[in-house]
Amino acid sequence: MLNHEWKNIAVRPDATMREVLALIDKTAMQIALVVDDACHLTGTITDGDIRRALLKGENLDTAVHLFMNPNAVTGLVDEDPLSWQRAMQRHSLKHLPLLDASGCIRALARLEIPQEPKRENRVVLMAGGLGTRLRPLTQSKPKPLLTVGDRPIIETIIENFAQQGFYQFTLCINYQGEKIKAYCGDGNKWGVQIDYVEESKRLGTAGALALLSERPDLPFFVMNGDLLTKVDFVRFLDFHKKQDNHASMCVREYRYQIPYGVVDLDQHKIVQLREKPVFYHNVNAGIYLLNPEVLQLIPRNTYFDMPQLFDHLISESYQAGSFPLREYWMDVGRMEDFHQAHSDYIEQFG
């Protein structure tokens, strides 16, 4: 879609941050175009650019040319519109300034997200945890309802799945579950369908699956209800099916560095010295795909975690696979992670 009223979001290079903030707020476009007197584009400013400038110590009277993006991605007004869309998707942009042959801005293209087809795979969200490490925040509300950005964690999760075409949800609830049920309801406000598994006692990250009212006909997602991620769920599903897995787990590379020189020994003999070595491990990201037949391995009314299920699958020679997660991922389980998720939210989900 083209916006030919680009002058409504245009500012001069000597405009102040205060003026740009007012403009972005008024137009709700999340972008301003910095143009000279001849309408040549000299840069762009997004709310992210403003946030980063403020974090660096700039003030509201700072001129925009000092913190704008002078190397903005642009398109040509006479190009194929599909090329504009590809450029925006490739660079994670919502808008693309369109220039003529002389470099003057003529229009603004907007990202058009194609309508995803409805997908029948069920999404089961584990939302019954106590959130002990986030107390006192979780004394008055369950962890999935803690607000990160401008909405509860579980709402962001549901919207991410819904944007990719998934609409059938089951929420497994226990601790303060009535509050989750009251907030999410039947899912109508997000255009999805939600039902509930109510645990009379805590059953772990897999045990509640034995209480599903109906066995799914298709591979289904299981995800912890305290995760924020930009994972491509459709790609994960395609991978699961292509690998012919019975169960697939998203894994994430975890890097840590020992802050000392490591000494490798053979008895008392020094074999090798390694200065502050870095180690890499794959860790469980808390997002899974399971085939329906896996449910028969889950005991009823017993505390049973997902790692136990995968151990059982492996010992019984089921095919269990890993899917590398390289997109944004945050387990909002500790107070420092909760604060980091707040800082990340606008850039990742805004």
Q: Is the pLDDT reported for residue 185 higher than 80?
A: yes
Averaged pLDDT for residues 279-300: 92
Identify the pLDDT of residue 337.
Answer: 79
Where does the chain hold its CATH 3.10.580.10 domain(s)? 2-110
% residues pLDDT > 90 (the chain): 37
Q: Is the pLDDT reported for residue 101 higher than 90?
A: no
% residues pLDDT > 70 (the chain): 98
The conformation of residue 208, written as its DSSP 8-state character, comes to: G
Residue where the block lists tokens 């993006």:
69
pLDDT band (50, 70, 90) for residue 338: confident
Question: What is the identity of the amino acid at 261?
Answer: G
Q: For residues 117 and 257, what is the distance between their CA atoms, to the nearest angstrom?
A: 44
Identify the pLDDT of residue 334.
Answer: 83
> Looking at the domain that runs over 123-349, which CATH code has it been given?
3.90.550.10
Q: For residues 307 and 252, what is the distance between their CA atoms, to the nearest angstrom?
A: 15
Identify the pLDDT of residue 67.
Answer: 87
| pLDDT tens column, 62-81 | 888 888 888 888 888 887 88
Q: Is the pLDDT reported for residue 29 higher than 90?
A: no
Where does the chain hold its CATH 3.90.550.10 domain(s)? 123-349
For residues 286 and 250, is the Cβ–Cβ distance under 8 A? yes
Across the chain, where does the E strand assignment appear? 2-3, 10-11, 31-35, 41-46, 75-76, 95-99, 105-110, 123-126, 147-148, 151-152, 168-173, 193-198, 220-224, 227-229, 247-257, 261-266, 269-275, 278-290, 320-324, 329-331
Cα distances from 202 to residues 164, 243, 303, in angstroms, run 30, 33, 7
- Class of domain 2-110 (CATH, top level): alpha beta
- Longest CA pairwise span in the chain (Å): 77
| pLDDT tens column, 149-173 | 888 999 999 999 998 899 999 999 9
When the pLDDT of each residue in the chain is averaged and rounded to a whole number, the result is 88
Q: Is the pLDDT reported for residue 232 higher than 80?
A: yes
pLDDT band (50, 70, 90) for residue 1: low
